[in-house]
Protein backbone atom coordinates (compact mmCIF):
# COMPACT_ATOMS: atom_id res chain seq x y z
CA UNK A 1 0.00 0.00 0.00
CA UNK A 2 1.18 3.53 -0.76
CA UNK A 3 0.21 6.37 1.61
CA UNK A 4 0.87 10.07 1.14
CA UNK A 5 -0.69 11.65 4.24
CA UNK A 6 -0.73 10.98 7.96
CA UNK A 7 -4.48 10.48 7.65
CA UNK A 8 -3.78 7.54 5.31
CA UNK A 9 -1.50 6.03 7.95
CA UNK A 10 -4.09 6.52 10.70
CA UNK A 11 -6.74 4.91 8.49
CA UNK A 12 -4.63 1.74 8.28
CA UNK A 13 -4.07 1.58 12.05
CA UNK A 14 -5.81 -1.10 14.08
CA UNK A 15 -6.14 -2.37 17.62
CA UNK A 16 -4.98 -5.89 18.39
CA UNK A 17 -7.51 -7.80 20.48
CA UNK A 18 -6.58 -10.13 23.29
CA UNK A 19 -8.20 -13.27 21.97
CA UNK A 20 -7.63 -16.74 20.64
CA UNK A 21 -8.70 -17.67 17.14
CA UNK A 22 -10.08 -21.19 17.41
CA UNK A 23 -9.00 -23.69 14.80
CA UNK A 24 -11.33 -25.68 12.60
CA UNK A 25 -13.30 -28.22 14.63
CA UNK A 26 -13.64 -30.39 11.55
CA UNK A 27 -9.86 -30.43 11.09
CA UNK A 28 -9.39 -31.34 14.76
CA UNK A 29 -11.83 -34.23 14.43
CA UNK A 30 -10.11 -35.57 11.32
CA UNK A 31 -6.68 -35.23 12.96
CA UNK A 32 -7.77 -37.62 15.67
CA UNK A 33 -8.34 -40.43 13.16
CA UNK A 34 -6.06 -39.68 10.20
CA UNK A 35 -2.77 -41.33 9.33
CA UNK A 36 0.54 -39.63 10.30
CA UNK A 37 1.38 -38.52 6.77
CA UNK A 38 -2.00 -36.80 6.47
CA UNK A 39 -1.52 -34.62 9.56
CA UNK A 40 0.76 -31.99 8.04
CA UNK A 41 -1.93 -30.52 5.81
CA UNK A 42 -4.39 -30.24 8.69
CA UNK A 43 -2.20 -29.10 11.57
CA UNK A 44 -2.25 -25.36 10.77
CA UNK A 45 -5.99 -25.04 10.24
CA UNK A 46 -6.75 -27.13 13.34
CA UNK A 47 -4.47 -25.14 15.65
CA UNK A 48 -5.78 -22.51 18.07
CA UNK A 49 -3.83 -19.25 17.53
CA UNK A 50 -3.52 -16.56 20.20
CA UNK A 51 -3.03 -12.98 19.02
CA UNK A 52 0.26 -11.26 19.87
CA UNK A 53 -1.57 -8.89 22.20
CA UNK A 54 0.72 -6.93 24.55
CA UNK A 55 -1.06 -5.79 27.70
CA UNK A 56 -0.48 -2.15 28.53
CA UNK A 57 0.20 -1.32 24.87
CA UNK A 58 -2.38 -2.82 22.54
CA UNK A 59 -5.19 -1.92 24.92
CA UNK A 60 -4.04 1.73 24.83
CA UNK A 61 -2.66 2.41 21.35
CA UNK A 62 -3.48 1.19 17.83
CA UNK A 63 -0.75 -0.34 15.72
CA UNK A 64 0.43 1.04 12.38
CA UNK A 65 2.43 -0.66 9.65
CA UNK A 66 5.85 1.01 9.62
CA UNK A 67 6.58 -0.64 6.26
CA UNK A 68 3.94 1.61 4.75
CA UNK A 69 5.62 4.62 6.37
CA UNK A 70 9.01 3.47 5.09
CA UNK A 71 8.04 2.52 1.55
CA UNK A 72 5.43 5.10 0.58
CA UNK A 73 6.28 7.54 -2.22
CA UNK A 74 4.76 10.82 -3.39
CA UNK A 75 5.69 13.45 -5.96
CA UNK A 76 6.66 17.02 -5.22
CA UNK A 77 6.91 19.18 -8.35
CA UNK A 78 7.04 16.01 -10.43
CA UNK A 79 9.94 14.48 -8.46
CA UNK A 80 9.37 11.17 -6.64
CA UNK A 81 10.36 11.42 -2.97
CA UNK A 82 9.72 9.41 0.22
CA UNK A 83 6.29 10.37 1.50
CA UNK A 84 7.36 10.54 5.15
CA UNK A 85 10.37 11.59 7.20
CA UNK A 86 10.97 9.89 10.56
CA UNK A 87 12.92 11.02 13.61
CA UNK A 88 13.92 9.41 16.90
CA UNK A 89 12.63 11.94 19.43
CA UNK A 90 15.33 11.03 21.96
CA UNK A 91 18.19 11.50 19.51
CA UNK A 92 19.95 14.84 19.14
CA UNK A 93 19.89 14.29 15.39
CA UNK A 94 16.87 16.10 13.92
CA UNK A 95 17.66 15.00 10.36
CA UNK A 96 16.14 12.07 8.47
CA UNK A 97 18.44 10.59 5.83
CA UNK A 98 17.31 8.07 3.21
CA UNK A 99 19.50 6.67 0.43
CA UNK A 100 18.27 4.51 -2.45
CA UNK A 101 20.55 2.68 -4.89
CA UNK A 102 20.37 0.88 -8.21
CA UNK A 103 23.18 -1.40 -9.33
CA UNK A 104 23.28 -2.38 -13.00
CA UNK A 105 24.71 -5.82 -12.15
CA UNK A 106 21.58 -6.57 -10.09
CA UNK A 107 19.08 -4.56 -12.10
CA UNK A 108 15.60 -6.03 -11.93
CA UNK A 109 16.21 -7.55 -8.51
CA UNK A 110 15.96 -4.30 -6.58
CA UNK A 111 12.60 -3.37 -5.04
CA UNK A 112 10.24 -1.28 -7.13
CA UNK A 113 10.62 1.55 -4.61
CA UNK A 114 14.27 2.01 -5.56
CA UNK A 115 13.40 2.17 -9.24
CA UNK A 116 10.91 4.97 -8.60
CA UNK A 117 13.23 7.12 -6.52
CA UNK A 118 16.47 6.89 -8.49
CA UNK A 119 16.29 8.49 -11.99
CA UNK A 120 17.77 6.24 -14.65
CA UNK A 121 17.36 4.79 -18.13
CA UNK A 122 15.83 1.30 -17.76
CA UNK A 123 17.04 0.28 -21.24
CA UNK A 124 20.67 1.19 -20.53
CA UNK A 125 20.62 -0.38 -17.06
CA UNK A 126 19.23 -3.62 -18.50
CA UNK A 127 21.89 -3.54 -21.22
CA UNK A 128 24.71 -3.00 -18.72
CA UNK A 129 23.25 -5.79 -16.57
CA UNK A 130 23.28 -8.09 -19.61
CA UNK A 131 26.94 -7.27 -20.33
CA UNK A 132 27.98 -7.76 -16.69
CA UNK A 133 26.25 -11.14 -16.35
CA UNK A 134 27.19 -12.50 -19.80
CA UNK A 135 30.75 -11.43 -20.61
CA UNK A 136 34.16 -10.29 -19.40
CA UNK A 137 36.11 -7.53 -21.13
CA UNK A 138 38.30 -9.90 -23.18
CA UNK A 139 35.22 -11.51 -24.74
CA UNK A 140 34.66 -8.36 -26.77
CA UNK A 141 37.81 -8.83 -28.88
CA UNK A 142 36.42 -11.63 -31.13
CA UNK A 143 33.26 -9.59 -31.74
CA UNK A 144 35.37 -6.61 -32.85
CA UNK A 145 37.67 -8.71 -35.07
CA UNK A 146 34.90 -10.61 -36.84
CA UNK A 147 32.78 -7.49 -37.00
CA UNK A 148 35.52 -5.59 -38.82
CA UNK A 149 36.04 -8.53 -41.16
CA UNK A 150 32.35 -8.61 -42.06
CA UNK A 151 32.21 -4.85 -42.38
CA UNK A 152 35.26 -4.25 -44.55
CA UNK A 153 37.08 -7.44 -45.51
CA UNK A 154 34.52 -9.33 -47.55
CA UNK A 155 32.89 -6.20 -48.85
CA UNK A 156 36.15 -4.78 -50.22
CA UNK A 157 37.20 -8.06 -51.81
CA UNK A 158 33.97 -8.58 -53.68
CA UNK A 159 32.76 -5.03 -54.09
CA UNK A 160 32.96 -5.27 -57.88
CA UNK A 161 30.57 -8.20 -58.01
CA UNK A 162 27.25 -6.38 -58.16
CA UNK A 163 25.18 -9.54 -57.77
CA UNK A 164 26.81 -10.30 -54.41
CA UNK A 165 26.38 -6.82 -53.04
CA UNK A 166 22.83 -7.62 -51.96
CA UNK A 167 24.28 -10.46 -49.86
CA UNK A 168 27.26 -8.54 -48.53
CA UNK A 169 25.39 -5.43 -47.44
CA UNK A 170 23.45 -7.34 -44.72
CA UNK A 171 26.74 -8.94 -43.66
CA UNK A 172 28.31 -5.50 -43.43
CA UNK A 173 25.41 -4.31 -41.24
CA UNK A 174 25.84 -7.35 -38.99
CA UNK A 175 29.56 -6.62 -38.87
CA UNK A 176 28.98 -3.04 -37.76
CA UNK A 177 26.60 -4.21 -35.04
CA UNK A 178 29.08 -6.86 -33.90
CA UNK A 179 31.85 -4.28 -33.74
CA UNK A 180 29.73 -1.89 -31.68
CA UNK A 181 28.64 -4.72 -29.39
CA UNK A 182 32.25 -5.83 -28.95
CA UNK A 183 33.32 -2.28 -28.02
CA UNK A 184 30.59 -2.18 -25.38
CA UNK A 185 31.77 -5.54 -24.02
CA UNK A 186 35.38 -4.35 -23.78
CA UNK A 187 34.40 -1.12 -22.05
CA UNK A 188 31.45 -2.17 -19.93
CA UNK A 189 31.39 -5.92 -19.28
CA UNK A 190 33.67 -5.70 -16.22
CA UNK A 191 32.06 -2.55 -14.84
CA UNK A 192 28.80 -2.11 -12.99
CA UNK A 193 27.10 1.24 -12.72
CA UNK A 194 25.80 2.21 -9.28
CA UNK A 195 23.29 5.04 -9.20
CA UNK A 196 22.13 6.47 -5.89
CA UNK A 197 19.95 9.29 -4.71
CA UNK A 198 20.12 10.53 -1.12
CA UNK A 199 17.29 12.40 0.56
CA UNK A 200 17.79 14.60 3.62
CA UNK A 201 14.89 16.09 5.57
CA UNK A 202 15.28 18.26 8.70
CA UNK A 203 12.65 18.70 11.41
CA UNK A 204 12.27 22.42 12.06
CA UNK A 205 9.23 22.66 14.31
CA UNK A 206 8.46 22.29 18.02
CA UNK A 207 6.40 19.56 19.64
CA UNK A 208 3.32 20.85 21.55
CA UNK A 209 3.77 20.90 25.34
CA UNK A 210 1.14 18.23 26.02
CA UNK A 211 2.65 15.90 23.38
CA UNK A 212 6.16 16.49 24.75
CA UNK A 213 4.94 15.54 28.21
CA UNK A 214 3.29 12.39 26.85
CA UNK A 215 6.55 11.40 25.12
CA UNK A 216 8.55 11.84 28.34
CA UNK A 217 6.05 9.84 30.36
CA UNK A 218 6.02 6.99 27.84
CA UNK A 219 9.78 6.81 27.30
CA UNK A 220 10.25 3.97 29.79
CA UNK A 221 7.52 1.91 28.14
CA UNK A 222 8.95 1.77 24.61
CA UNK A 223 12.28 0.84 23.04
CA UNK A 224 12.05 3.99 20.93
CA UNK A 225 9.53 6.65 20.03
CA UNK A 226 9.47 7.85 16.43
CA UNK A 227 7.97 11.06 15.11
CA UNK A 228 6.52 10.63 11.61
CA UNK A 229 6.23 13.77 9.51
CA UNK A 230 4.75 14.27 6.06
CA UNK A 231 7.76 15.22 3.96
CA UNK A 232 7.82 18.64 2.33
CA UNK A 233 11.45 19.77 2.05
CA UNK A 234 13.79 16.99 0.94
CA UNK A 235 17.33 17.95 -0.09
CA UNK A 236 18.47 15.63 -2.88
CA UNK A 237 21.99 14.47 -3.74
CA UNK A 238 22.73 12.20 -6.72
CA UNK A 239 25.87 10.14 -7.24
CA UNK A 240 27.23 7.72 -9.84
CA UNK A 241 29.83 5.06 -9.05
CA UNK A 242 31.62 2.69 -11.42
CA UNK A 243 32.68 -0.64 -9.92
CA UNK A 244 34.89 -3.20 -11.63
CA UNK A 245 34.56 -6.92 -11.16
CA UNK A 246 36.93 -8.05 -8.38
CA UNK A 247 40.03 -10.09 -9.17
CA UNK A 248 39.20 -13.65 -8.01
CA UNK A 249 42.85 -14.28 -7.02
CA UNK A 250 43.82 -11.78 -4.30
CA UNK A 251 47.43 -11.50 -3.16
CA UNK A 252 48.33 -12.76 0.32
CA UNK A 253 51.26 -10.90 1.89
CA UNK A 254 52.99 -11.55 5.22
CA UNK A 255 54.54 -8.71 7.18
CA UNK A 256 57.45 -9.04 9.60
CA UNK A 257 58.93 -6.05 11.43
CA UNK A 258 57.29 -3.71 8.91
CA UNK A 259 59.18 -5.43 6.07
CA UNK A 260 57.23 -6.91 3.16
CA UNK A 261 58.68 -9.75 1.05
CA UNK A 262 58.84 -7.41 -1.94
CA UNK A 263 60.73 -4.64 -0.09
CA UNK A 264 64.32 -4.00 -1.20
CA UNK A 265 66.95 -4.18 1.54
Q: Each residue of 175-224: pLDDT tens digit?
A: 888 999 989 888 888 888 899 999 999 999 899 999 999 999 999 999 99
Q: In angstroms, what is the C-alpha Rg of the chain? A: 31
DSSP 183-215: HHHHHHTTEEEEEEEEEEEE--S---HHHHHHH
The predicted-structure confidence for 87-142, as pLDDT tens digits, reads as follows 999 999 999 999 999 888 888 777 778 878 999 999 999 999 999 888 888 888 99
**Beta-carbon contacts of residue 176 (< 8 Å; ≥ 6 apart):** 147, 151
| β-bridge mates for residue 236, sequence order | 199
The predicted-structure confidence for 21-75, as pLDDT tens digits, reads as follows 999 999 999 988 988 888 888 888 999 999 999 999 999 999 999 999 999 999 9
Pairing mode, if any, of strands 84-88 and 95-103?
unpaired
Quote the CA–CA distance of 237 and 99 in Å, as a whole number.
Answer: 9
Amino acid sequence: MNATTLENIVDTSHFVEDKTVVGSEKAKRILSICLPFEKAQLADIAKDVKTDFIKGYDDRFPRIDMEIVKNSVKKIDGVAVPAFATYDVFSENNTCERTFKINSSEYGIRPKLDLQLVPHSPIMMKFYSHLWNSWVSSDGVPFIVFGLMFSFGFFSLLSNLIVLKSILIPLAVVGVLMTIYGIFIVNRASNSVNLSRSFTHTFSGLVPDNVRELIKNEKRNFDSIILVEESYNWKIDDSIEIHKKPNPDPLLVGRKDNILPSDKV
